[in-house]
A and B are shown apart, each in its own frame.
Chain A
């Protein structure tokens, strides 16, 4: 694996791009969670009224 990667270093570039996208994706997921919480609280609010 290591030998393959050091010979074909373009795959290292690819891994790095994937890591960057994973980071951005995880931010989107945390954002999604936060917004879902807000949605839930809002719908709970309506039911109380």
Chain B
């Protein structure tokens, strides 16, 4: 219970700080953020948009780890865990796309530009969308679990490439792309200590939230699965 209260306080703090802390040119106080040329107030979405993309990676990673575990131990519970995690990964992937697109409208002028970052997340959505289609098309439980475990392991190979590598080596509009004048990977683009601290607090908060959602999601899928089997047998 204590960690849930901790999580509530952490996310409440991140939301308040992320939205309301002022952006000034030369930050002197602990609650002031630095001005990043070209981003201004928009820079604050880093506390909410980046964690969703981060959770996409974490959720797909956990999904793949449990797929791997399923293939080794052939325990159907692992398959359900992998499924619950991939569901969350998909939700956060869609959220990252939508929030990014809203931001793009005001930073770049249109909702969708086929920027390398947008193209890569779109490909990722398609790849994992196919995974759900694959799952729902197979009726036999073991067969579905095995096939989707293999697919998910192959699909995850593309994730680091699409999220971390491709948008950084290609020129584009997204902060952190190859020709970004604000320089370098997103995390050290002229953030100061406070901004970094709140950014990492946000990452930690969202990650804990994800693990909580995953556990509840998994339990509900497991319960439904057990009940369905019982009804069929009974």
Contacts and interface: CB of A to CB of B under 8 A. Distances in A.
A12 B42 contact: yes
Contact of A23 (B44, B91, B102, B217): B91
Contact of B88 (A19, A27, A38): A27
Interface residues of B, number: 34
Nearest to B226: A38
A42 B224 CA distance: 10
B48 A17 contact: yes
Interface string A2-46: 000110111011111101100110110001001101100110010
Q: Is the interface of A mostly helix, strand, loop or mixed?
A: helix
Interface residues of A, number: 25
Contact of A38 (B41, B98, B223): B223
A17 B106 contact: no
B85 to A, nearest CB: 12
B157 interface: no
Given A9-B40, A31-B216, A16 B227 contact: no
Interface in B150-166: none
Contacts of B191: none
Interface string B36-55: 00001110110011001000
B94 A23 contact: yes
B48 A13 contact: yes
A17 B41 CA distance: 14
Interface in B10-39: 15, 18-19
Contacts of A5: 106
Contacts of A42: 227
B106 A20 contact: no
Interface of A: 5-6, 8-10, 12-17, 19-20, 23-24, 26-27, 31, 34-35, 37-38, 41-42, 45
